[in-house]
A and B are shown apart, each in its own frame.
Chain A
Amino acid sequence: MSRIRVVDMSYNYGDGTPALNRVNLDFDPTHHTALVGPNGAGKTSLLMALAGLIDAEGEVLINEIHLENKTKEKLRTEMSFVFQNPDDMLFMPTVEEDVAFGLDTLGLTDSQVREHTAEALSKVSLSGFEQRSAHHLSYGERRKVCLATALARQTSITLFDEPTRELDPQGRRNFIKLFNEMEGILILATHDLELVLETCSKMVLLDEGNVICSGDPKTLLADHQLMVDHKLEVPHSLTKHPHAH
């Protein structure tokens, strides 16, 4: 079973303010994990550090292998990353080429690449969009293609940065369905607390680079004081008849 361990991780933003401060965390496939916290809490930095895209202090162990310059290319073959902005991820001329990009580096043959691509596009219900260009697609469709790029890789670890931001309600609903069908270690950073309740069985609350607490999302998100202290709010579905009196 795959596993990610983060040991004493620290990282500063370019201007010197701390983004992550001695973070220790464990991730495994039994829980889908949500990273929650106000702006600047360190959610994106943590995801980036897990992927080896920023050089943070401390250690990341993926299946007990140290993530470092020598190993990161190899370890990334086990990972997919769905970035915040679809336009950063979709740079190839056609949807098909975008989804297929880099699949060959996973050791897949040409026919396997085509298979994975077709399968991933059908999962996000974009079969038939193969020859379209990303810039002619709607925002929601571009989001789906991004998800397909991750699905096609069939990796054991998938990282999501704000996957539902700017999605319309139906797009968001589709995402939740697809996410819940996925397997492996899934980590998502989000401000969408209702999304956390619908998708994750574990939640990590970050603020100013510190892990404030982690545990069952329902319990943590219902804690009014905890939410207020960290510029969050109890999601509507957990408030009991707020206007009853």
Chain B
Amino acid sequence: MNHAFLDRYATLESPLHRLPASIKMLFTLSALGLLLLVVPFVSHTWGWVLIITYAGLMSLLAIISRVPLTFLLTRSTLVLPFSVLIVVVNYFSGNFSFNQMLITVSKSLLSIFAILLLISTTPFNSILKQLSRWGASRLMIIIFSFMYRYFFLLVGEIESLEKAVAMRHSSLSGWKRFKTYANMVGMLMIRSFDRAERVYQAMQMRGFTGDLS
């Protein structure tokens, strides 16, 4: 499993990285909102004008941010399986013109690109802090930060479980393989419970009584 990404460029140094999280978050939201709201309701020509302007702006920001363009572009293509499927189906059923097909794909690519740019210039924890300032539920923020914190450890655990399975059964197939993987996920879940229990003990020792304020 490829997990080395997440927000790995978020700690680079650039003018964009130094901007407060709130500004970047608001900018991303409004840029996305504008793109999604306006493009469907204008003519194709104006749609293209908007998309090209938007793409130009995003590339400019990407260059300023020093986040490798290849990373942003390859990660953006993750959206392609879904969008290509949808537009091709629509094209062949006569629902979409060729132009519409291209506009839709570009729009989805640009949306992903904008989110990637945000996450690559803003540490996830800064985003959480800002959400908290904007009044997000305390419980949610805590769950979020625990999720982020323990994700890498769980990845390590599932990888070692996978290796252990592979060492013992090199050629599992069919139902047996399915069952083995189910047990593996079950084991991972049990370990998560155990982990949570130990973390809670550590929290208790430092005075945590469940108060979320």
State yes or no: do A and B touch (Cβ within 8 Å): yes
| Residues of chain A having any CB pair with chain B under 8 Å | 48, 51, 53, 73, 76-77, 79-81, 83, 85, 87-94, 101-106, 133-135, 149, 153
Distance to closest chain A CB from B194 (angstroms)? 10
Known contacts: A93-B125, A133-B125. The answer to whether A88 contacts B206 by CB under 8 A is no
* Docked complex: B151-177 residues within 8 A CB-CB of A: 152-153
Known contacts: A93-B125, A93-B128, A133-B125. The answer to whether A81 contacts B152 by CB under 8 A is no
Known contacts: A88-B195, A91-B146. The answer to whether A53 contacts B153 by CB under 8 A is no
Question: How long is the Cα–Cα vector from A210 to B32 in the complex, in angstroms?
Answer: 66
Question: How long is the Cα–Cα vector from A81 to B145 in the complex, in angstroms?
Answer: 23
| Residues of chain B having any CB pair with chain A under 8 Å | 125, 128, 145-146, 148-150, 152-153, 195, 198-199, 201-209
Question: How long is the Cα–Cα vector from A149 to B205 in the complex, in angstroms?
Answer: 11
Question: How long is the Cα–Cα vector from A102 to B203 in the complex, in angstroms?
Answer: 8
Question: How long is the Cα–Cα vector from A133 to B195 in the complex, in angstroms?
Answer: 19
Q: Looking across the interface, which residue of chain A has its beta carbon closest to that of B128?
A: A93
4 residue pairs, one from A and one from B, having the closest CB atoms: A102-B206, A105-B207, A102-B207, A93-B125
Beyond the given pairs A93-B149, A101-B203, 4 more chain A to chain B contacts, judged by CB atoms under 8 angstroms and listed by A's residue number, are A53-B205, A87-B153, A93-B128, A105-B207
Q: Which residues from B are CB-within-8-Å of A48?
A: 201
Contact between B153 and A149, CB atoms less than 8 A apart: no
Distance to closest chain B CB from A105 (angstroms)? 3
Contact between A81 and B205, CB atoms less than 8 A apart: yes
Question: How long is the Cα–Cα vector from A101 to B204 in the complex, in angstroms?
Answer: 11
Contact between B207 and A149, CB atoms less than 8 A apart: no
Contact between A135 and B152, CB atoms less than 8 A apart: yes
Question: How long is the Cα–Cα vector from A89 to B199 in the complex, in angstroms?
Answer: 6
